[in-house]
Amino acid sequence: MSLSLNRPDRRDGLRRLFRHPAEMLSSRAIRTQAPPISWLMQQAVEVEGLISLAAGLVDRASLPCARVQALVNEILADPEAGRDALQYGTTPGHHALRDLVRARYCAGTAYDDADQVVVCTGSQQGLELLGEAIYDPGDIVIVEDPTYFVYTGVLESFGCDIRGVASDADGMQVDQLALLLDQLRASGELARLKAIYVVSYHQNPGGWTLSLERRQALMALVHGLPEQVLLIEDAAYYELAFEPDQRPPLMATMDASGDRVASFLTASKPFAPGLKTGFMVVPPRLVAAVVHLKGNHDFGSNNFAHHILARALATGVFDEQVADLRAVYQRKAQILSEALHRELPAGSAQWAESSGGLYLWLQVPGVDTGPDGALFKACLEQRVLYVPGCYAFAPEPGRSKPSDRLRLTYGVASDEELVEGARRFAAALLSLGV
Ligand SMILES: Cc1ncc(COP(=O)(O)O)c(C=O)c1O
């Protein structure tokens, strides 16, 4: 039989194989857009000498090279420990690590069970896995407005119907949430509500922490909702509180039912993002679904990283690193804020001082901060980059998005770059006649 590619039936077969992508791709792939941050990262690479106050990367100088080297040496010096670490792990992750995570974050609560901890390839993978476990197209998910824009991308990819609730210095306005829930009840849409998502500490992008009062009110509201509704707490910046003693408790630890909250934590921000290790703490009814789905993805994240982190947590090295980082970021937040106060014309921008995390959220009244606006262009000319605030507002049809907000980070830039970045940002603003 001839295998000639010119045979008409063969050509048809090839055509079918190399169909136009729109026909080839799944509906989920078509719904999945490139995150705006990819474009921003691209700018950072392409524009020479650019100071990025945009990318959420961590401080470079304080990455724990010596600490990780010592941990790795300890692991590999012991042949048994070394072989355990270099072997495949289990799908939910290294058990010792899961137990340390349980003890650190959930001891004495209704979530005090290592079996409810799943270790993921960053908390981002956990958010995606949980989404696979609970979302169908058309499900409603309520988010803070503004919110972590990578997660709204995830929700769009699942075909979720995203609804925003206004936030302020104390986090999501829970009275506004109650109004929205009333509306959903009245319109018969409550059955489609699947989750309420909050970034509960030093929010990305807003910087605020959900207050204790609001946490209590939110928990009470969730318990009044149908059982399919989950509270998703993204606690990515939990460890980076400058005053950890004043930090309100994790939402999972406040849920006496043990059934309504999934909390996400990460070792990326407080230790080393290169280890790309995050943790999810989920109610028992979700564990099997999440673990089965993770089995399909990778049947377990990087086991070596789990062993490094387990040792870091068990020996106190993790705590030493976190303590150092809190001081580093507190200093850097102050440097950036002071430089902005010095450089910007009085009243041209407003922001709250940081109490943790990596971000300042600015309002620049009367200025369009969008990617096509004059400020963004002027900043690129000055070689400084910020994240346009428009990306972070809920992509809810008909909901207005403030156009004068932007996010700056003091994470990755050096002290000198923060000062110079603020100078360039002010020069860009002044060039607009502000
Ligand atoms: C709010 C929030 N959640 C989750 C993540 C994901 O981080 P990772 O996957 O490194 O744990 C980030 C990263 O910037 C974040 O800002």
What is the SS3 assignment for 69-94?
A: HHHHHHHHHCHHHHHHHHCCCCCCCC
| Tens-digit pLDDT profile for residues 293-305 | 999 999 999 999 9
Do 242 and 337 meet the contact criterion of CB atoms below 8 Å apart?
no
Structure-block tokens of residue 114: 């290592």
| Tens-digit pLDDT profile for residues 126-172 | 999 999 999 999 999 999 999 999 999 999 999 999 999 999 999 99
pLDDT of residue 19: 53
| 109: CB partners within 8 A, 6+ apart | 252, 253, 255, 258
Give the distance (Å) from ligand 1 centre to CA of residue 271.
Answer: 13
Question: What's the chain's average pLDDT?
Answer: 94
Name which of 9-13, 214-218, 335-339, 384-388 the model is least confident about.
Answer: 9-13
Q: Assess whether pLDDT exceeds 60 at residue 379.
A: yes
Ligand 1 neighbours by CB, cut-off 6 Å: 56, 122-124, 148, 199, 204, 234, 236, 266, 268, 273, 278
Give the distance (Å) from ligand 1 centre to CA of residue 124.
Answer: 6
Q: Assess whether pLDDT exceeds 90 at residue 44.
A: no
Residue to probe by mutation, ligand 1, list 268, 275, 276, 279, most atoms within 8 Å of CB: 268
pLDDT of residue 41: 73
Give the distance (Å) from ligand 1 centre to CA of residue 267.
Answer: 10
Structure-block tokens of residue 164: 């925003």
Give the residue-averaged pLDDT of 224-245: 98
Q: Which CATH superfamily is domain 34-63+320-431 in?
A: Aspartate Aminotransferase, domain 1 (3.90.1150.10)
pLDDT of residue 10: 45
Ligand 1: residue whose CA is nearest its atom 16: 204
Give the distance (Å) from ligand 1 centre to CA of residue 430.
Answer: 33
Q: Assess whether pLDDT exceeds 60 at residue 14.
A: no
Q: What percent of the chain has pLDDT over 90?
A: 89
The confidence band for 20, taking pLDDT boundaries of 50, 70 and 90, is low
Give the distance (Å) from ligand 1 centre to CA of residue 393.
Answer: 17
Give the distance (Å) from ligand 1 centre to CA of residue 251.
Answer: 18
Q: pTM to 2 decimals?
A: 0.94
Give the residue-averaged pLDDT of 244-260: 97
Give the residue-averaged pLDDT of 376-403: 94
pLDDT of residue 4: 36
- Does domain 65-315 correspond to CATH entry 3.40.50.300? no
Do 238 and 195 meet the contact criterion of CB atoms below 8 Å apart?
no
| Tens-digit pLDDT profile for residues 73-113 | 999 999 999 999 999 999 999 999 999 999 999 999 999 99
Give the distance (Å) from ligand 1 centre to CA of residue 304.
Answer: 21
Say how far apart CA 50 and CA 41 lie, in whole Å. 11
Ligand 1: residue whose CA is nearest its atom 5: 124
Structure-block tokens of residue 383: 């070689």
Ligand 1: residue whose CA is nearest its atom 14: 56
Give the residue-averaged pLDDT of 280-298: 98
Q: Assess whether pLDDT exceeds 60 at residue 12.
A: no
Ligand 1 atom index nearest CA of 268: 10
Measured in whole angstroms, the distance separating CA 16 from the mean position of its chain's CA atoms is 39
pLDDT of residue 191: 97
pLDDT of residue 11: 45
Residue to probe by mutation, ligand 1, list 123, 280, 361, most atoms within 8 Å of CB: 123
Ligand 1: residue whose CA is nearest its atom 6: 124
Do 140 and 194 meet the contact criterion of CB atoms below 8 Å apart?
yes
Q: Assess whether pLDDT exceeds 70 at residue 21.
A: no
- Best CA proximity match to 265, nearest among 300, 240, 289: 240
pLDDT of residue 22: 64
pLDDT of residue 392: 96
pLDDT of residue 34: 84
Give the distance (Å) from ligand 1 centre to CA of residue 185.
Answer: 32
**Domain segments of the chain as ranges:** 34-63+320-431, 65-315
| Tens-digit pLDDT profile for residues 332-370 | 999 999 999 999 999 999 999 999 999 999 999 999 999
- CB burial of 92-119 (b: ≥16 within 10 Å; e: otherwise) equals bbbbbbbbbbbeebbeebbbebbebbbb
